Amino acid sequence: MLALSNKIGFFCILYLAFVLIVKFMKKIITVVGARPQFVKAAVVSRAFQKSNQVEELIIHTGQHFDQNMSAIFFEEMEIPQPHFNLKINGLGHGAMTGQMLEGIEKIILQEKPDAVLVYGDTNSTLAGALAAVKIHVPVAHVEAGLRSFNMRMPEEVNRILTDRISNWLFCPTETAIANLKMEGYTDQTAKICNVGDVMYDAALFYAAHSENRATVAKQFTGPPFVLCTLHRAENTDDPANLERIIAALNEINKHMPIVLPLHPRTKKIIEKNNMKAEFTIIEPVGYFDMIELLKNCRLVMTDSGGLQKEAYFFHKHCITLREQTEWVELVQNGYNELTGANTELILKAFEGIAKRTTDFSKALYGDGKAGEHIVNALIA
């Protein structure tokens, strides 16, 4: 009888411990809609799991329909599967954001989270933040404070509005914090934290696995080459800009081979306008292949925001085919040069940067533990 009583007591203690853990666990809804956001969210999800103090539910708005985001993508990248998929894509900005807002709000009302976590600057980011703040659920914004100072970019509008209604502003750099302070933000209006860049965490984590999981990149381990990407509408949808960039790439390719993973849509635009590309064009590649291409290339040319940083993570110089960048510290420290779509400026930048040697030891984007810093702030 005593033994039975002891067992009952033991299980009662276990049950009470379970109840207390559940009671004091925070429930957080994460909203993502684009492939890069899943990679960023995976960093924080791993930190949530490690803390054992957070129940996370993931909403995929469906904003970017990407065939590469298959079950294999989630498995290989060790990314949690979304709990909800709104499947909203292929619409204009207003319709897309409005439908996302409606769908996300329903889930928030159903699940009653302690906070909603959003990433970056997409329509999904803004919809998630708006849905939460309108029903008085706190908002946490990862990659807060970034500015291109170009209000013609939808991303700039999204990030500014999201920052304005967020309760936690998780900044990747001191520049981002300075931007917020310049706009009048203080710790009294929102909790401002320089946590570092979650993409640095991701780069460190996935670089350890990329060599065994990459396929396409194995073709490009020989002579030095330039890794180029081109996808922003300001370049791909403007035939004059696109032609100037391709002219520069053709000339550079005579001196150093260029490898350009290119979306089929942009490839069709090039063909439609009878532009002749004399460099190597390949199909879009997955994240592991992109890491291996970054490891093996001599330098990077891109109009992508994320790839500018990833070039730095892997100690490569970068030429940015845009007029502005959110990552101004890369330019200020000599890792990056802005050229826009100007053929002469691109060629001049290549001539100088291809010979440059630079110290990459500066910790511009944190200590590689941004995920942990974010979780610690949320559960404090």
Kindly state the tokens that stand for 354.
């291809």
Residues 6+ apart with CB under 8 A from 92: none
Give bridge partners of residue 226 from the DSSP assignment. 258, 299
Q: Computed from CA positions of residues 156, 162, 167, 170, in that sequence, does the dihedral angle turn out positive or negative? A: negative
DSSP-derived secondary structure letter, 82: P
Closest listed residue to residue 108, CA positions, set 79, 87, 138 = 138
| Helix (H), strand (E) at residue 274 | none
Catalytic pick among 83, 209, 231, 263: 231
Count the neighbouring beta carbons within 10 Å of the beta carbon of residue 53.
14
Please choose, from the candidates 110, 96, 95, the residue with its C-alpha nearest in 3D space to the C-alpha of residue 34. Answer: 96
The single residue listed with the structure tokens 């009653």 is 112
Write the single-letter amino acid at 358. T
Question: What are the tokens at 286?
Answer: 């997955």
The residue to which tokens 């403007």 are assigned:
238
Cα–Cα distances (Å) from 288 to 33, 215, 285, in that order, read 20, 8, 8
Answer whether 238's CB lies under 8 Å from 269's CB.
no
Q: Determine how many CB atoms are found less than 10 A away from the CB of residue 218.
A: 11
Distances (CA, A) of 373 to 171, 180, 370: 11, 19, 5
Closest CA to 315 of 361, 368, 364, 346: 361
Chain centre distance of CA 196: 13
31: which strand partners?
Answer: 59, 118
- Angstrom distance (rounded) from CA 336 to CA 328: 9
CB 282 within 8 A of CB 275: no
Q: Is 136 a catalytic residue?
A: no
Question: CA-to-CA distance for 256 and 29, rounded, in angstroms?
Answer: 46
Question: So which residues are the catalytic ones?
Answer: 231
